[in-house]
Structure formats: C-alpha cells, structure tokens
Amino acid sequence: MNRSWRRHRHWLAPTLFILPGALLFGVVIILASIRTIWVSFFDWDGVGPMQWVGLANYQQLAADPQFYVSLKNNVIWLVMFMLAPPLGLALALLLNQAIAGMKVLKSLFFVPLVLASVTVGVVFTWVYDPTFGLLSLIYGWFGATAPALLSDEHLVSFAVVIAALWPQVTFCLVLFLAGLNNLNEDLIGAGRVDGARGFAMLLHIVLPQLREVSFIALAITVIGALRSFDMVAVMTSGGPFGSSTVLAYQMYEQSIFSYRFGYGAAIATVLFAIMAVFIVWYLRTLLRPEQETA
Amino acid sequence: MYPRPIPETARSARAAYIALVVGVLILWLLPLVTVMLTSLRSFEEVMAGNYWGWPKSFNFIENYTAVFKQTALARYFINSLIITLPSVVGVLVLATLTGYVLSRHRFAGNRLVFALFVGGNFLPAQIMMIPVRDLMVSLGFYDTYFALIIFHTAFQTGFATLFMRNFIAALPDELFQAARAEGASPWQTLWHVVVPLIRPALAALAILTFTFVWNDYFWAIVLTQSDAVKPVTAGLNNLRGEWVSAWNLVAAATIMVAIPPVAMFFLMQRHFIAGLTMGAVKG
C-alpha cells in the first residue's frame, strides 16, 4: 500500500487535492445549472411528480406579455448600465492625485461597493420617497412636487437602475484607479514632450493603455446588468403591476410564489442563453493571450 | 501620472482641488448620510415629519439599543456570522487546493476544468436556483445554516479558484523545481512552499469572500424562511415590513447591517482592492 502510494502519488495526490472543490462546484453549480434546462421541459409544482410537456413552457413564454416586459426591462438595465464604465473612469480621473488626505477620501468613495444590495435598495427607496425623501426635498426647493418614481410604471425601472448604478460605478472606479496606477510613465512623459495634453492625451495615450481594464469593467457591467435581481426584489417586488420585473425576478416569482417550477426554469434557460453569449466572449478573450504564449 | 499631478507648490490649487473632491464626496454619499441622520432622530420627530431639519434630540443610543432589543436583528447578526465564517474557511481551503493543482500540474482537461470554474462563476444565480433548492430540500438542509454554507462555499470556490490559480502560477518556477529536486511530495510542496507564500492572496480572498457572502440576499430568501436561520440581509427586508412607520429604527438597522463589511473594508482595504483588481484584471 505504502509503496504503491509512493509510486502513484505524483498524480494521485493532485487528484485528491482537486476533488473536493471540483466535486462541490461541479454538483452544486454546474450540474444544477444544466438540470434547470432539463426541468424546463416539464410541468412541475416543485413537490409532486414532474410531467413531460416538451416545449410547451417555451411556447407559453413566447405568448406571455409579462415576458416581454421583463425582456424590455433587461434591455433598459443593460443600456443604462453602460454608463457605469465612463462614469467610473471620470471619477477615477478626478481622484487620481497623490495629495495628503486623498487616501482617506478615496476609500470613502469606495463605500457603496461594499454595501449589500439590500442596503442600497433600502437607502434609495428612502431617496425616492415622495413625501419625505431626498428627491422630494430637492423638488420642494423649486416649489414642485416630486413624482412617486417607484409607483410610476413608466419611470420605475429607470429609478431602480439608477440606484443599482451607484455600486456599479464604484466598482468601475476601483478598477480604473488601479489601471491609472499602472500606466507607463515613459509613454505619458513622451506624450507630454510631444505636446499632448488634456483630452488628446486621454484619448491617444491613456485609454489605449487602459484597454484591458476597460474590457473587464465592461464585462462585469454587462453581467451585472443581466443578473440584476436584488434591487428589483427589494425596491419594487417587480411592481407596480409587474412593470419593473426583469427575467431573473420573473423567474423567481413564477417558481417560488406560483409554484410553476418548469415555467420558471424555462425563463432561467432563456436568461442563461443570453448570458452564455457574454460568458463565452469573456472566456475567449481571457484565455487567448495565454494560448499565444504557451 | 495622469492627470498631471497638481504640484506641491501650488497651494491654493491643491486646496481648491481638495474642496472639490470633498464636495463631490458629500453628494456621492448623500443617500447614505440621510439614512444615518434619520437613525439618530426620535420616534416623535419622525412621526411629526421632521426628516430634514436639525434633530431636536440625538437618540443614537436609544435607537441602536432599541433595534437590538425590540427586533430580531441580534439573531440575524449571529445567523450571518454562523453562515459567513465557515463559508470563508471552506472557500480558502478548497481554492488553495484547486488553485495549486490547476496552476502546477499538467493533465488532460486542465484548461476545461479551469474554464468551468471561471465560467460557472459568472452564471446568474437564477439558472441554478430550482435544482439547488430541490437538492437542499431532499438533503434536509432547507431552512438550515447548512444550505447557505454549502451553497456559498461551492459558488465562491469558482472565483477563488481563478484567483488562487493565477496567484500560484505567478510564483517563481525555481521554488517548485527545487522542491522536486529535494524529492518533496505534492503535499509537502503545498504545505511548505505554497502556503507560506500565498498569505496575501489568502487575506485578500478572505475579505472578498466575507463581503460577498455577508451581502448575499438572493440565496438567503431562496434557501431559508425562519427567523432562527435568516441572515441580516433578508432580516433587514423583513424589519422594513414590520416596522413601517418607525423609520428611525429601520434606519438604525440599515446602518448596522452595513457596518461589518464597511469595517472589514477599512481594516483590510489594501487586500480588498488588490484582490478585487487582481481577480478582475489578471483574470
């Protein structure tokens, strides 16, 4: 036993090392995700037996007006979230000075990043409150009445996304500050000698060096927009009248509240298909440089 | 540096710059500051609608003790700790093992396994919700700490593996060649060569995982329902429904929930930022 262990440990030991993590991740995350696709072909209340219905859930989904509301809101999230990288970059450019006291100020700027989304949701529900919120105070200064953003079916999604942008912009800010710290000083110096200043410098010398960081910021922002759930759940529960649901929330509602697990799984599968495009694109870009050097 | 540094000699320009930054910061954190202010007000004042005037009395101690005495917040806090701490330890152990193997051992499928860890990490929670919930129900873990500990450990291992693999891959090759020349077993190499060198990575991962798990809301509401198990995030949302008019107490609870991750962040900021940017930028 001991001898054969010694002979084989060069591959047995690594196998044993990777097994617990790979098994746990494989079963709980990967297999579960695949099983959702399987469940989407069934009619299931989550408790009783599952009944095969083929593509019926998807046909129903295609005819469900609520599905298109969710899809439209996901697009609103995605488009508005695209503001996060440029806003984060703008803040990073503002804050990138080495002056006494800036360290503390910068860390205070980072606070929204570590807040729980529930906290952000509660805080902004407050801001938006039409009777005593920050927004009503500001409207009051101009003698106007604040709109009840969270109960207006046309504005609600925008209001929720603005709240969600707060931590997302912070995330981009942190990434861009790190990127700005890794700039090639020689290139900047050469640019200055050549008379590049201000915006021209940013466009031609700084931004090209931030390509990698920008890519990450963009990818994380896209994925963040697509998997938005918490803010909708906390701030509106999808309301008023389901006007602020996103795919993730509709899926949760259909499964947990309406016990339509097969239908929920179909929504999740559609969401997954949309996301898979981005994940594959991300992984390809990520793994490509390594393949070149290998 | 870009933008061009403001020179030390330009005193007034520096002062103006700091003033500008402080101004932007106040606007940036204004939503949070208003909640903080509300958490100091008395119940009478909140009922009277004084949300913006100078507080007539500062009820800091009253409100923050009331929130612990009159609500289940203390219970939620303990629950969050019971869920978060084992998850962090589990993730660190598993990710060190997987990261080491994936970075230092060549085998068929290495790249595929790595891609699964990284890709799985980006999956939306909803895609695995139904099967995970079903699994926890059938294991008898639904509405227990185990459900959340197992799930968070599994899920965070994805990001942590990406992180650890890149960190260990960046360690100098000579160390591993020397270990091999000495006839060290994989276990000895891991324990005596790798672990002492990855302390900064472990610190960064610990703080990141803590924040991610502590702040989770989705799995808290999917996998638990009773107050005895619920973590603070789900608990806070409950309190909001129960204490509709006592905004000062809800505000105090909101601030309390935010304090642990913010405190952890300030204590270990260097590790947090390094971890986040390395995890993102290098991986």
pLDDT mean over A105-110 = 93
How much is the pLDDT for B283?
40
Torsion sign, CA atoms B254, A221, B93, B271? negative
pLDDT digit string, tens, across residues A193-215:
887 777 888 888 888 888 888 98
- Rounded to an integer, what is the distance from CA B92 to the centroid of its chain? 14
Does B123 sit within 8 Å of A123, measured CB to CB? no
Give yes or no for a contact between A160 and A236, defined as CB atoms under 8 angstroms apart.
Answer: yes
Per-residue confidence (pLDDT) for residue B220, from 0 to 100: 95
Quick one: DSSP state of residue B55?
P
Stretch A241-255: mean pLDDT, rounded? Answer: 93
Contacts 24+ apart (CB under 8 A), B51-54: B51/A132, B51/A137, B52/A132, B52/A137
pLDDT of residue A293: 42
Record: contact A105-B21, CB cut-off 8 A: yes
Q: What was the pLDDT predicted at B42?
A: 83
Where residue A46 falls among pLDDT bands split at 50, 70, 90?
Answer: confident
Tokens of B98: 């997987």
**Is A99 touching B (CB cutoff 8 A)?**
yes
B79 at A interface, C-beta within 8 A: no
Reported pTM: 0.91
Q: Show which of residues 238-267 on chain A sit within 8 Å of chain B, judged by CB atoms.
A: 247-248, 251-252, 255-256, 261, 264-265, 267
Q: Domains (ranges, CATH) in chain A?
A: 59-293 (1.10.3720.10)
- Give the tokens for residue A186: 């020689």
Which pLDDT does position B279 carry in this prediction? 61
User: Considering CB atoms only, which of A29, A94, A223 is closest to B158?
Assistant: A29
pLDDT band at A292, cuts 50/70/90?
very low
Residue A171 has pLDDT above 80, yes or no: yes
- For the stretch B54-110, pLDDT in tens is 777 788 888 888 888 888 899 999 999 999 999 999 999 999 999 999 998 888 888
| Over residues A244-252, mean pLDDT | 94
Task: Report the chain A residue with the minimal C-alpha distance to residue B53.
Answer: A137
Task: Quote the mean pLDDT of chain A.
Answer: 89
DSSP state of A149: G
Closest by Cβ to B258, choosing from A35, A107, A115: A115
> What is the pLDDT averaged over residues A102-115?
93
Query: What φ, ψ does residue A52 adopt, rounded to 5°?
Result: -65, 125
The DSSP code for A245 is -
Angle between the N-to-C axes of helices B145-169 and B199-215, in degrees from 0 to 180, rounded to the nearest 10: 150
Interface of A with B in 47-86 (CB under 8 A): none
* Closest partner CB to A114 (pick from B126, B218, B265): B265
Q: What 3-state class would DSSP assign to A69?
A: helix
Tell me what the mean pLDDT of segment A153-172 comes to.
Answer: 94
ipTM: 0.89
**Residues B104 and B176: beta-carbon distance below 8 Å:** yes
| Over residues A46-57, mean pLDDT | 89
**pLDDT attached to residue A72:** 95
User: By C-alpha distance, which of A113, A204, A267 is closest to B124?
Assistant: A267
* Residue pair A109/A169 in contact by the 8 Å Cβ criterion: no
**Whether the Cβ atoms of residue A133 and residue B63 lie closer than 8 Å to each other:** no
* CA B40 vs CA B58, B240, B274, B276: distances in Å: 5, 17, 35, 34
Residues of chain B predicted below pLDDT 50: 282-283
In chain B, what are the domains? 11-62 (no CATH), 69-282 (1.10.3720.10)
Per-residue model confidence (pLDDT) at position B240: 86
Cβ atoms B281, A216 nearer than 8 A: yes
Quote the minimal CA–CA distance from B148 to chain A in Å. Answer: 12
The confidence score (pLDDT) of residue B280 equals 59
